[in-house]
Amino acid sequence: MRAKWTDLALEAQGSAPVESERLPCGIERTVVRITTHEAQQELGRPMGTYVTLSCPQTMTIALDMRRALSCELARAIAEMLPAGAKTVLVTGLGNRSVTPDALGPRTVERVLVTRHMDGCLPDDVAKRLSSVCALAPGVLGVTGIETAEVLRGMTGHVQPDAVIAVDALAARSSGRICSTIQIADTGIAPGSGVGNHRKALTRQTLGVPVIAVGVPMVVYASTIASDAIGSLVRADGGSEDDEEKLASCVSKVVSEQLGDLIVTPREVDALVERMAGVLAQGINMALHPLLEADEIEQMMAQ
């Protein structure tokens, strides 16, 4: 049972240093740095920097806020890209046919791909473009091939300077769904994502820096069940210790039935489309800093 599972470093409780600031646009920007082996163990995720952007409202994010999220995402990615990166592979993880899991594939569909245009563009445009390629490799159950296998093959061939991997996440708190973006310079390690244990996508396995961009789209039903009990115990004046004891108790009761069930907003189809737009815009801005937003939109339409 995935009680209390989260893919967000911010939600993992631990002693790693956390900096938080509220930006003028209303976004809360938090940075968790895992710098020691102890913190790595404690938080259950690799050493590195985890930037989290979250906006106050959920479900229907205002247009201005979405633009601000794209800009902040672009800034966070730009800071993690290796200096002078010329070629970048963007990959959308997850299953295109499972709505909340389709965030990655839907995002890469909107990324401005330019690697194949070499030599076909006017010079004044060409010199302002990076070389970007994009791939949604599908999931193991659909292809029979590990995502990491496909990407190892591709990075070996394309030899990018960095990989950006976009994925749907699971959060601990339902308030995080579709209102939080996590950007990490750690790549993606097994056990992350919406229930898929796939092999790691990291600098170690792919040979180049891997920037992970993720947005929580679901909470596990078992987390909700566990939280209900926590709320109850606290309302009763119980302590954290009691909660742990109770959770373990419930775990036995609800495990099987709730194992694979997820909690999402009913409007998740529309939320995925909109968030894919926010992510793609941020990625396009980060990878083509010399293009105007209108130029990018125009090139996408061709």
Which of the residues 93 through 132 are near a second copy (CB under 8 A)?
A: 97-101, 109, 113-116, 131-132
Minimum separation from the CB atom of position 51 to a second copy (A): 25
Cα–Cα dist 214/52, whole Å: 10
153 contributes a contact to a second copy by CB under 8 A: yes
Q: What's the order of all strands across the beta sheet hosting 162-171?
A: 18-22, 28-34, 48-54, 180-184, 210-220, 162-171, 87-92, 131-135
Residue 40 or residue 205: which is nearer to a second copy going by CB?
205
69 lines the binding site for a second copy (CB under 8 A): no
**Residue 270 sits in the site that holds a second copy (CB under 8 A):** yes
Burial of 117 (0-12, 13-18, 19+ CB in 10 A): middle
Handedness of CA 29, 64, 77, 89 (dihedral sign): positive
Among 48, 138, 193, 216, binds a second copy (CB under 8 A): 138
Q: Does 134 help bind a second copy (rule: CB under 8 A)?
A: yes
CA dist., res. 302 & res. 295, Å (int): 11
In angstroms, rounded to a whole number, what is the distance separating the alpha carbons of residues 251 and 78? Answer: 42
With both helix axes pointing from N to C terminus, report the angle between 268-287 and 63-80 in degrees, rounded to the nearest 10.
Answer: 50
84 binds a second copy (CB under 8 A): no
Q: Quick one: 253 or 290, whose CB is closer to a second copy?
A: 253
Q: How near is the Cβ of 68 to a second copy at its closest, in Å?
A: 14
* 44 vs 156 by CB, closer to a second copy: 156
Q: State in angstroms the smallest separation of the CB of 39 from a second copy.
A: 29
Residue 86 tokens read as 């010329």
Q: How many residues does the chain have?
A: 302
Q: Does 267 bind a second copy (CB under 8 A)?
A: yes
Determine which residue in the list 93, 129, 140, 181 makes contact with a second copy, applying CB under 8 A. 140
> Which of 18, 85, 121, 263 touches a second copy by CB under 8 A?
263
Q: Is 197 near a second copy (CB under 8 A)? A: no
